[in-house]
Amino acid sequence: MKSLLGSASYYRNHIKAVAHITSSLYKLCSKDVVLEITKQMQDAYERIKHELPNGQVLILPDFELPFTLYIDAACSQGLGASLHQRQIVDGEQREGVIFYISRKRNYSEAIYGATQTECLFLVWAIEKFHYYL
């Protein structure tokens, strides 16, 4: 399990919402925990196994073009954001992903209301991507 989570962490920039997906699996690595695999854990395991070899290809940023920042405030366990850019690829304009970021919410952040959570996500994402924005 630790090997799989290590691989997921290494490729975290290529996997959308990796912190949300792996949050239930990290519980299995804790000391003094009863090994009980739930449906959520099994689904997370299967999804990570699928995402690792099939991770999305990221594009290189073009600093002459504007960037788009997306945040994912729907998850109750983690923060997620992605940086996108519209570029011309093979003669057609497409929006591609430059970077994914995610992290688990801490205890104090878990009790935030909807507005506070969205503000937290936005500030966190802007701090992470400030070089691009």
Measured between alpha carbons, how far is 78 from 93 in angstroms, rounded to an integer? Answer: 31
Is the Cβ–Cβ distance between 103 and 78 less than 8 Å? Answer: yes
φ and ψ at residue 28, rounded to 5 degrees: -70, -20
pLDDT digit string (tens) for 21-52?
777 676 677 777 677 777 877 787 777 776 66
What domains lie within the chain, and their CATH numbers?
2-51 (no CATH), 67-128 (3.10.20.370)
Read off the pTM: 0.61
The residue among 43, 28, 112, 52 whose CA lies nearest residue 77 is 112
Band of residue 66 on the pLDDT scale cut at 50, 70, 90: very high
SS3 119: helix
pLDDT digit string (tens) for 70-127?
887 666 677 888 898 998 877 888 888 888 888 888 888 888 888 888 888 899 999 9
φ and ψ at residue 70, rounded to 5 degrees: -115, 135
Band of residue 55 on the pLDDT scale cut at 50, 70, 90: low
pLDDT of 43: 80
Would you tell me how many other CB atoms lie within 10 Å of the CB of residue 48?
19
